Structure 1
Amino acid sequence: MIKKFLVFLLACFFGLNCYAQLSVTHLLTESQSNPLSIDVKMPRFSWQVLAGNKNSVLQSAYEIKVGEISPLGKDAQIWQSGKVAGDQSVYIPYKGDALKSGVQYSWQVRIWDNYGRVSAWSAKAYWRMGLLSPADWKAKWIGPGYPDDAVNKPSPMLRKAVTVTKTVKSAVAYITSHGFYEAQINGVKVGDAYLTPGWTSYHNRLQYQVYDVTTMLTKGQNAIGAKLGSGWYRSPLGPSNPSPNHYGNDVGLLFQLQITYTDGTSETIISDESWKSSTGELRYAEIYNGATIDARMEQKGWAQAGFNDQAWAGVKVQDYNKDNLIATYNEPVKKQTTFKAQKLITTPKKEKVIDFGQNVVGWVRVKLNGKAGDTIKISHTEVLDKAGNFYTENLRAARAQNIYILKGTGDEYFEPQFTWQGFRYIKVEGIAGDLNLDNFTAQVIYSDMALTGTFSCSNPLLNQLQHNIQWGQKGNFLDVPTDCPQRDERLGWTGDAQVFSRTASYNMNVHNFFAKWLKDLTADQFKSGSVPHIIPDIFSGGGSERDGGSTGWGDVATIVPWNMYLAYGDKQILADQYVSMKAWVDYMQHQAKDNLWNTGGHFGDWLFYSVSNDMDGASAITSKYLIAQCFYAHSTQLLINAAKVLGNKADEDYYTNLIGKIKDAFVKEYVTGNGLVSSDTQTAYSLALEFDMLPENLRQQAAGRLAANVKRYDNHLTTGFLGTPYLCDVLSRFGYADVAYKLLLQESYPSWLYPVKKGATTIWERWDGIRPDGEFETPSMNSFNHYAYGAIGDWMYRVIAGIDTKNEGVGYKQISIKPTVGGKLTFANATYETIYGKLSSNWKTEGDTFYMDIIIPANTTATVYIPDDNGVVSENSKPVSANKDIKAGAVIPGFKVFEVGSGSYHFSSKKG
């Protein structure tokens, strides 16, 4: 043994076959870390390679072993892959015997690399299978048994006393609800998620959550409690005459607790007739209007053992179908950071207003002291008006107000339940005298996705823009990608999601978030293939297709799956969504006549630049049907791409033939013989060029027309929701990066930086939400937290910092680092946590020298483009040729190109 150890140490010293320098980390099962519930029958495994002190490391083989964990915690191996040659380290499927419902499993992996090293076995990762059949649910749906208050709908509280007579080895709770739920065991909240069970197409797909509650139970008397709220299930939803009870009239609970004892026996505790119900301090809770808490009605200890529930009513058992129950796919909404109150304002109207300094989404925690019956009202808004007064008109019908009634027992602490607000400012009513800012804290919530991207540069306004983009995403990614978080809407508008999806994938790990939401798209898609305007669909209720089929909105069915495939390399997303993708393209084909789609209702280039007195034709109006034809072609191309990835040759051939006809019809209808696109707007040229709608001999000319159009508007953009994401990309692609930079750095309206100069901390819905004279745009549609125009973030990562995928290198298996220097920037830094590990690109210019530091994760390769093909390039202050990990790449005008493997590199290029 000692001899073997000495040999091992010598191998490490001389850099030979030493696994201590090669390791495996970040193990994921179905893109989740140690998930407590998976209902995928053959889950997939992913990991990251840590290369030690070696560059250009590629995995050459792997081996996986899987164990089944018995009720008593023993691990019995059930599958081993054997040594499998290859560099695949993501989405590798389990191939053993069928997995069992509710059972926990472990897995480990070890790898070999291209240097002949072998790693140690990784630490164990775990997952638990969900309840795989409706028959596995022994619990019954229950709801309150007392007469309902049809007006205020106070939140029901359900409870059950439980006696545990043995020592608990493990305990797992399976919970879902109609409406929101928060569960407790012995007075302690179960889990740290909020707004559970999340929002899905409830009739088709209702998620349940699973919690390990082993440490929450004690031997002897215990109590289980659950509080319910209306949530998305029965709150009024939508801005146009919203009606409640879209999914159902009654909230309800489904609860199942599986206890395993140290002696090997088990017990199942379920929601059933034996539970009791009542109400407490939460008298009202609704999404748009807020919550009312009357502390005088608190039933203290209601979810603890020994509580006297003799006066409580029974429960009502409901016979709901359980076929729609599914495991949770995405990260739940959780509490994130907090903001302290920054400033106390007394407005011209003498109202007391607190500024938190950042437009956030969540609620305010408040410490209060007063007499029993004192009522405190906290109202929320994003902005103050021109005079400095509290402004809520843009919230429309949403009251966005939390009301607290004190019980008068000294210091009392309040925060709302089953609601949230979008706000920067709050108005406080009911407190006499001065307010103590220390008593008010803004609590931020959003889906608990890992933050994956950072971007900064030498221009502080662009840094604030990046800040605003990220906070717009945080505020609107609450289980579904909402359009806005404050007014009477907060819906999953498809157009907003598709234009922002690629940017979203840089800022956060949105793989699971969008995979889940896309399944709801499929569930709610009309039989014709038309796609509802929002997902989950609450407009049509699965009936009329009037609220669907708009170009750029319906194309979410193809664009988001493809963008997720680019970002994460997961073919399963394409496989899961392929039928939906194809149905949308077929819908457009059926609507088209002679391959021209010029029918139907469309939103067009939503909120494009327009002037009220258009005497000189300055409004940038783009034909809705021209836009429709462009997106028709784009979605068809993405379907072709997906068919090719999935090996569907018949579809690939059929739609390749179709797209040629679509583009021919576009040129015939919308392009003159001299190459003028009929609408002659920035959006028309951007879409035509981005989607390759023009013959190659007309493309550069069209790009020149686009650049001239920008100049005609004095270097201002005029695009709306559909044109904006592609504008700078097209300009830089066709040699007009300088024009793209001028647009990005423009500070006057309309521009990305105009809101920044106006003090915005998130992205606005309109370019001029606050006009130059300080007045507001139309209040019926004027959100100050609306992420769509933040789609420019994609260009900032890909073009300024240069971080992108290369050709077919989806998921950043093959990387492109190609920065574009311009806009008087002297440096740009970006990092991105890929599925393989950290990737970064940091460049700066000093005098006549360009410097670039990059990090390439193990098990990937990269093509690096150093600007200036005449420069003399060094790496780590030595000639590039001295580094064996760097190879000369293709000859590209304007760049020196190199092929590199994983590792850290420090390039410099002195002008020749």
Structure 2
Amino acid sequence: MERLTAGRLRTEYLDDPLGIDVSAPRLGWIAVANHRGAKQTAYRLLVATDQKTLDLDLGNLWDSGKIESEESQHIVYEGTELVSGQCAYWKVQLWDEAGNGGNWSSTAMWSMGLLARDQWQGSWIGLKNDHKPTKEQPKPSIYLRRDFQVRKGVKRATAYATALGLYRLYLNGKRVGNDVFSPEWTDYHVRTQYQTYDVTGLLQEGDNAAGATLGQGWYAGYIGMYGFQKYGMDPSFLLQLNIEYEDGTTDCLVTDEDWKASHGPIVSSDLQMGETVDARLEMPGWNGLSFDDSAWVCVDIMYDYRGWLVSQMSRTIRVTETRQPVEIRPLQDGRVIIDMGQNMAGWIAVTLTGEPGARCTFKFGEVLDDNGQLYTDNLRLARQIDTYVCRGGTAETFEPTFTYHGFRYVEASGAGFAIDDVMGIVVHSDLPVAGELETSHPLVNQLISNIRWTQRANFMSVPTDCPQRDERHGWTGDAQIFAPTAAYNMDVAAFFAKWLVDLEDAQQPTGAFTDFAPFIFGPKTEFDNDFTYTHTASSGWADAPIIVAWSMYETYGDKKILSKHYEAMKKWVGFNWKQFPGGIRKDVPQYGDWLSVNERPFEEVIAEFGRMVSHHSTTPYDIFSTAYMAYNAKLLSDIAGVLGMTADQALYAKRFAMIRQSFIEQFVDEQGSIKGDTQTAYAMALEMDLLPDYLRSAVLEKLVSKIEQAGGMATTGFHGTKFLMSVLTKNGHAELAYRLLLREAYPSWLYSVNQGATTIWERWDGWTKDGGFQDPGMNSFSHFAFGSVGEWLYRNVGGIDRDPSEPGYRKLLIRPRINGRLTSARCTYDSLYGPVKTDWQLIQGEFRLEVIIPANVSALVYIPSVEGSDVLEDDTLAIAARNVELLGREDGCSVYRIASGTYRFVSVYGGTNYKS
């Protein structure tokens, strides 16, 4: 039997992070072994200042000693206090269920950042520009450089860099790092992130050169949906390059008045509007040695930054994939349409030829109109146009630097190129893939792909609503309903930890959270010709900090994310209670169940409920808002319990009960009818536990009846859809949930798939055969909200869920919900404790399941079977198999508890088989 070893060592969820600013970071690993029942019973951690010391099995920073524990995550460093710039190398040894010690793991490391503000020695530099940007002419990028000397015997060189705006850093002509948009979007009034790079290998003895390019980014360009918005007028740059020598001495290169600046070939650049590059203005070698910068000007010393400088503790935005077009189709006037075959976020790189000064234009869009032309009406103020001015002569390659687009199609003009000369560049926050799911149904598989691609396009430092139009906000309502799906698709622990800080930074003095973060103050907006709103404190949106933090706790078992934001959560719940002490929230306007489908003529609905409904939500606002107010009180009580705040736990449990009672009295009658009589109202009440027990079955019947009366159709919007499938499945109507999943008529998930969608649409009816395009003012074709069904797919088709008795996937629930319309599914989920796999098939009346449970993890497994028939595990009766314990029967399934390992179950399936 092989020994238990530790793998995938991470620090604060990251692989070998540099420049962190957590003084006592949390360490984690997975236990690795192939035999059944493998379990960690103890561990020993060593942390050392260098690899040589660690190789001697010495921990001169920390030796934990042998710790009797099954825990392998969130292990807090308890060694010697760490200082700025310090490196820490670590490894771990495990003991297994038999008490045998395994081999030491491979080495992981982290380094500390600059832990105090006064350790930053440089000045913010840039080049002031009084030009006010326009859509057609954003500001140009700025080029910075300086020469410097390096002495012999460099031991280590570390660059700490950031900008107000975006930067690309170079040393001796070579790019530093591979992140594409740094620093990432924060509320610059509050904090800016810096990045840390090990640049030891880029320096040389003697002459060296540093260079940087600055873009407007989120700081000084168009952001949001209000036209030109800015945190500041001009980007600026800050660099500190610390050089350590073998003899113990140090040097430090910083940004100061000795740097020079110039404009260059990027003559305009903006994240929303696009980028223009004039190749005739190229400056070969500008960021390397022996460049003549006599025509450059001295930099401007910019204003000192007053916010927090913090280390980036999340994975950076990077190029994650390249794709070739599937077709280039000529149009009239020399234009062509490039079809990438996939709606995505990023840009294209093009190798082309043209005369000197020839202007090549690339316009980006998600779809084509009925005439095969690029459709851009839905971009609103965003242009998404890149322009390249040729230098002429030989073939040249254009690729933008400081912009990105949401697109599948590109209309190109003014250049000659072939299909092999174009490459699509896919860009997003580079989060590790966590889950994969493939079924026997090709349309469901495309839906799963669409959900994943929509997440990729919109996880761009923050969870944006869309990647194409003049918005791209971190909308909270969209993100909170999608967060569990996001966590199945990717490792989002550090990503959402960063965004929760953005949410708290945006919290208002009243305690109200905003509807998107980072928050941008915009003008008040007309709402249904009557009301105005300011994107603050909206139910279902501003509730996101509590809901997302709880979701991350459930997924990763992370108590710190709860404690860090606990006071902010209390302020939000207190804000609601102060405004609505009677327990009914009835302020208008709200968003409500955004983009739901009218279940009856809207004229009837508005006549009955007046201002409590809108065209976007026929579930009355008071129902919707009160439900969320109750739900938040309940979650905060649960959070207080996890944190040991017993008095708070009781207080918020009492508050939940009071709001719940008000909800029942005001909105629910004795027959189980709920005000509004919408699918969403019934689904929310059931899922959020807002009903007395004696009415739950009646309310469930109302919900099922509403769906059947609508022709087996879901009419829910963003939020109702999140709850609908779960409520049906947990309450004995999994078959109806499958019918909704597999429905192909409008409205449904598969309707858009059948129209050729490769991402999730913002609206059920983004385009229909009968109506064409919806209102271009709000019609994104890459919007992840309705993709929240992904959570249901992983849990019920893939069959992988966590046991509700414990967060973090240390205990698993393996329960594929079998429906004969699907005959097989393969699913993997790389949990915090290691990869889980299921592979099930229905074959000639048999149900077959292979399941793999990682070491140090156990699972409950539900095997659909005919009562009284035998269930086999690898040709043995399951009840006699090793590490398999029969617990009984439930809902037509034999239920087993299994330890880690690989298992193969076979049972007689008593359901109905359908063609898929």
TM over 0.5: yes
Tell me whether 1:41 sits opposite 2:23 in the alignment: yes
1:676/1:108 Cα in 2 relative to 1: closer, same or farther (>3 Å)?
A: same
* 2:479 counterpart (493, 497, 501): 497
Aligned to 2:384: 400
**C-alpha deviation, 1:152, in angstroms:** 4.2
What residue is the counterpart of 1:894 in the other structure?
892
Question: What is the rounded CA distance, in whole Å, between the counterparts of 1:409 and 1:223 in structure 2?
Answer: 30
Contact 1:869 1:893 in 2 (8 A): no
- Counterpart mapping for 1:366-765 below 5 A: 366-431=350-415, 435-539=417-521, 546-610=534-598, 614=602, 621-765=618-762
Structure 2 vs 1, CA of residues 388 and 610 (structure 1 numbering), >3 Å: closer, same or farther?
Answer: farther
- Take 2:309 and 2:496, find their aligned partners in 1: how far apart are those partners? 19
Given that residues 762 and 785 in structure 1 are in contact (C-alpha distance below 8 angstroms), is that contact kept between their aligned partners in structure 2?
yes
- Contact kept, 8 Å, 1:396 with 1:488, in 2: the verdict is yes
Aligned partner letter, 2:46: K
Match of 1:187 in 2: 173
Letter in 2 for 1:63: R
Q: 2:228 matched to 1:243?
A: yes
Q: CA deviation at 1:384?
A: 0.5
Paired residues of 1:59 and 1:87 also in contact (CA < 8 A) = yes
The 2-side partners of 1:291 and 1:747 are apart by: 40
Look up the SS of the partner of 1:172 in the other structure. Answer: strand
Shift of the 898–71 alpha-carbon distance from structure 1 to 2, 3 Å rule, reads: closer
Q: Distance in 2 between matches of 1:698 and 1:350?
A: 67
Tell me what 1:5 maps to: none
Cα distance in 2 for partners of 1:675, 1:425 equals 50
Q: Tell me, yes or no, if the aligned pair for 1:67 and 1:105 is still in contact at 8 Å.
A: yes
Tell me the alpha carbon deviations over residues 204-249 of structure 1, each in whole angstroms, 9 at most, x when there is no partner. Answer: 1211000111111111211100000000001122223x2232x112
Q: 1:341 & 1:821 partners in 2: Cα distance? A: 38
Is 1:324–2:308 an aligned residue pair? yes
How many Å separate the matches in 2 of 1:718 and 1:834?
33
Match of 2:798 among 776, 797, 801: 801
1:269-295 alpha-carbon deviations (Å, 9 max, x no partner): 111111000011000000111000000
| Alpha carbons 1:145, 1:277 under 8 Å: kept | no
Other structure's SS at 2:374 match: coil
Q: Given the superposition, is the C-alpha separation of residues 319 and 239 from structure 1 closer, same or farther in structure 2, using an over 3 Å criterion?
A: closer
2:85 corresponding residue in structure 1: 102
Q: Which amino acid aligns with 1:135?
A: D
Distance 1:558 1:709 in 2: 31
Greater shift, 262-271 or 298-307, is seen at 262-271
Distance, in Å, in 1 between the alignment partners of 2:604 and 2:142 is 61
Query: What is the number of residues matched between the two proteins?
Result: 888
Q: TM-score, normalised by structure 2?
A: 0.94
Q: Which amino acid aligns with 2:84?
A: S
Q: Distance in 2 between matches of 1:476 and 1:108?
A: 35
Match in the other structure for 1:260: 244
Q: Offset at 1:573? A: 0.9
Structure 1 230/120 Cα, relative in aligned 2: closer, same or farther at 3 Å? same
2:228 corresponds to 1:228:
no
Q: Tell me, in whole angstroms, the C-alpha distance in 2 between the residues paired with 1:723 and 1:893.
A: 26
Contact 1:332/1:447 (CA < 8 Å) preserved in 2? yes
Deviations 1:476-499 (A, max 9, x none): 001110000001111101111011
1:293-332 deviations in Å (ceiling 9; x for gaps): 0001111111011101111110122341365000111100
Give the gaps of 5 or more residues in structure 1.
1-14
CA contact (8 A) 2:50 2:87 kept: yes
Aligned residues of 1:72 and 1:264 also touching (Cα < 8 A): no
**Cα offsets for 1:365-385 (capped at 9, x unmatched):** 001112110000000000001
> Offset at 1:533?
1.2
| Structure 1 counterpart of 2:146, one-letter code | K
CA deviation map 1:491-541 (0-9, x unaligned): 101111011000000000000000000011111111112111110001359
Mapped contact 2:3–2:96 kept (Cα < 8 A): no
- One-letter code aligned to 2:69: G
User: Contact 1:146–1:314 at 8 Å: present in 2 too?
Assistant: no
Q: Tell me the secondary structure at the aligned position of residue 87 of structure 1.
A: coil
Does residue 1:341 correspond to 2:354, yes or no? Answer: no
1:106-145 aligned at under 5 Å gives the runs 106-144=89-127
Counterpart for residue 769 of structure 1: 766
Q: 1:382 to 1:720 in 2, by over 3 A?
A: same
Measured against aligned partners, the alpha-carbon deviations of 1:251-285 in whole angstroms (never above 9, x if no partner) come to 10000101112232211111111100001100000
Equivalent residues in 2 for 1:867-882, closer than 5 Å? 867-868=864-865, 870=867, 871-882=869-880
Task: Decide whether aligned partners of structure 1 residues 683 and 823 sit closer, same or farther in structure 2, where only a CA change above 3 A counts.
Answer: farther
Report deviation, 1:431: 2.6
Output the CA distance in 2 between the equivalents of 1:589 and 1:549. Answer: 13
- Find the aligned partners of 1:349 and 1:155 in 2 and give their Cα distance: 32
Structure 2 gaps of 5+ residues are 525-531, 607-614, 911-916
Secondary structure at 2:791 match in 1: helix
Q: Secondary structure at the match of 1:816?
A: strand
Aligned partners of 2:373 and 2:511: how far apart in 1? 48
- Give SS of 2:338's match: strand
- Structure 1 Cα separation of the partners of residues 841 and 542 of structure 2: 41
In 2, distance between residues paired with 1:252 and 1:370? 34
What is the deviation of 1:693?
A: 0.6
Deviation of 1:876 after TM superposition, in Å, equals: 0.4
Instruction: Indicate the SS of the match to 2:367.
Output: coil
Q: 2:775 aligns with which of 775, 778, 781?
A: 778
Give a deviation string over 1:822-866, Cα, whole Å, max 9, x none: 151111111000011110122111122111110111111101111
Distance 1:589 1:227 in 2: 49
2:881 to 877, 880, 883: 883
C-alpha displacement of 1:708: 0.8
- TM-superposed CA distance for 1:549, in Å, is 0.7
TM-score under structure 1 length normalisation: 0.95
Separation of aligned partners in 1, 2:276 and 2:594 = 37
Distance in 2, matches of 1:72 and 1:626, equals: 63
Contact 2:147–2:209 (CA under 8 A) maintained in structure 1: yes
Structure 1 residues 107-147: Cα deviation after superposition (integer angstroms, max 9, x where no partner): 11111121121112212211001110001111111112677
Q: Do the aligned partners of residues 202 and 867 (structure 1) sit closer, same or farther apart at CA in structure 2, a change above 3 Å counting?
A: same
Letter in 1 for 2:885: K
Alpha-carbon RMSD across the aligned residues, in angstroms, is 2.1
Of 38, 41, 45, 1:64 maps to 45
Deviation (angstroms), 1:608: 0.6
Deviations 1:59-118 (A, max 9, x none): 111111111239999987121111111100001001122111111111111111211211
Counterpart contact for 1:765–1:789, Cα < 8 Å: yes
The equivalent of 1:6 in structure 2 is none
CA offset at residue 57 of structure 1?
A: 1.7
2:297 counterpart SS class: coil
1:776-807: CA deviation from partner (whole Å, max 9, x where unpaired): 00001000000100000000011122211112
> How far, CA to CA, are the matches of 2:755 and 2:889 in structure 1?
45
Q: Deviations over 1:801-823 (max 9, x none)?
A: 22111123211011101111115
Name the residue aligned to 1:12: none
State the one-letter code of the partner of 1:61: A
1:872 touches 1:909 (CA, 8 Å); kept in 2? yes
Tell me by how many angstroms 1:610 deviates: 2.9
In the other structure, the counterpart of 1:853 is: 850
- Counterpart of 2:461, as a letter, is D
Contact 1:105–1:126 (CA<8 Å) still a contact in 2?
Answer: yes
| Partner AA of 2:731 in structure 1 | F
